[in-house]
Amino acid sequence: MPNFAARVESIGISGIREVFEAAGEDAINLGIGQPDFPTPAHARQAAIDAIERGDADAYTPNKGTVSLREAIAAKHRADQGIDLDPKRVIATAGGSEALHIALEAHVSAGEEVIVPDPGFVSYDALTRLAGGTPVPVPLRDDDTIDPAAIEAAITEDTAAFVVNSPGNPTGAVSPPEDVREFARIADEHDVLCLSDEVYEYTVFEGEHRSPMEFADRDSVVVVNSASKLFSMTGWRLGWVYGSAERVDRMLRVHQYAQACASAPAQYAAEAALRGDRSVVDEMTASFRRRRDILLDGLEDAGIECPTPRGAFYAMPRVPEGFVDACLDRGVVVVPGSAFGAGGRGSARISYATAEADLREAIDVMAAAAEAVRE
């Protein structure tokens, strides 16, 4: 019997991937959070040009090209008023690696990380891989993260807490007053606020604000990604930023795990950041339209669902057996339990799919719900 590391044995395969891979080729997939829009043409062309020039043939600096990091800094300066030195940015292999190196750099064995419940599957798993203990905090009835619940969960062993707005799996958007509270809590308790902001452009109601805007001390690290902002999931290009001291520690993990992010992807992401963002507005308008179609369909089917205000997920409350009944009928949704105990009795639906498929899936979900209620 092989001797496996205990930290690996403590986690399992992502529930999202399990459901996705169990589906047939003809299934309508409402399980994967992947925009169905093409990567912007100017971003694709920038990668092609870099390849043809030979600029993508070699390693870039560990943190990423200077020009990409300047583009990232300019983006956050323009969008959020954050004075970000490009030296405080690391380009990563997607937001997933950014989360990984942030937790590896800040969590010691036995320390605690407060995570939303339900929350994105990586928070729990990556905390365990870092040797830490995830501490789940239930969400409010509207699926937002309650700052008071985070503060109440802090102990002498707390290394960090994770916030995510707009949120996965719920689509909830934290109001500015809560975001300000996240920063205050991190400042006053001297714990890290790890802010996952990969859906920041996909907001239907409310506004996206970052705890970094409000922090008075070096208490916030931000994770972001081109994947959801610019429909670039396959390019695997994200970034993480914080203070110079925090970036130094995260870089120590990144340089041995990854060396540098994909060079062609870096050139594509830079072009996306610097170029015309009308495609982003078009995607957001389309996702909002699809959200409304889904909510109307769920209501007609008698399925309760809090209104998601961002991202492209909904998390309706569903009867037992609903997920399997949908899968049997060719529609993939993810059981809410994949995102933590707080997700039991729910399902996550990604509406980042064609409207025709979404309408067909709604009919299937209505039939599935009726079947399992009988």
Give all domains of the chain, ordered by start, each with its CATH number. Answer: 6-39+278-373 (3.90.1150.10), 41-274 (3.40.640.10)
Spatial separation of the C-alpha atoms in residues 229 and 220, rounded to whole Å: 21
Amino acid of residue 3 = N
Q: What is the pLDDT of residue 1?
A: 72
Spatial separation of the C-alpha atoms in residues 374 and 361, rounded to whole Å: 20
Residue 70 has pLDDT above 80, yes or no: yes
Q: What is the pLDDT of residue 136?
A: 98
Higher local confidence (pLDDT), 91 or 10? 91
Residues 6+ apart with CB under 8 A from 374: none
For the stretch 196-245, pLDDT in tens is 999 999 999 999 999 999 999 999 999 999 999 999 999 999 999 999 99
Q: What is the pLDDT of residue 23?
A: 61
Q: What is the pLDDT of residue 87?
A: 98
For the stretch 255-303, pLDDT in tens is 999 999 999 999 999 999 999 999 999 999 999 999 999 999 999 999 9
List Cα–Cα distances, 338 to 19, 99, 100, 188, 328, in angstroms: 10, 19, 19, 33, 19
Residues 6+ apart with CB under 8 A from 221: 102, 106, 192, 193, 194, 195, 240, 241, 242, 246, 250
Amino acid of residue 147 = P
